[in-house]
Amino acid sequence: MKGIQEFLIRLLNVNIIAIFFVRKNHRWVREGTNMNFTYVNSSDLAGVAVDGNNLVIMFRNGGIYEYSGAANEFSNIMNANSKGKYFHQNIKPYYVCRRLR
């Protein structure tokens, strides 16, 4: 059952982000930018991307947020054992965010 739930969550995320993102070479790319999401193994986060100097986080619930000036956190969050914990402790409290979706 867990596999089916994860599939449905991914399907829901794909349908939500398709409005703003196009699929190219098996990755989601934000139209008009070079931003590619890297999917992550997390119960909270679905993907992480860099757009210029900003870090963009796609959540499993479909929300997409841009964190201004946080691009330097990309390698840290990707190397963290818990992506969600790293995000909530080191990115969310310290960077200004803007909801994209």
Per domain, the residue ranges of the chain are: 2-99
Residue 39 neighbours by CB under 8 Å, 6+ apart: 46, 47
The predicted pLDDT at position 27 comes to: 54
Task: Report residue 11: phi and psi, to 5°.
Answer: -65, -45
CB 77 within 8 A of CB 87: yes
- Which carries the bigger pLDDT value, residue 24 or residue 18? 24
The predicted pLDDT at position 18 comes to: 40
* C-alpha distances out from residue 30 to 16, 37, 40, Å: 13, 9, 17
Q: Is the per-residue pLDDT at 61 higher than 70? A: yes
Q: How many CB atoms lie within 10 A of CB 37?
A: 20
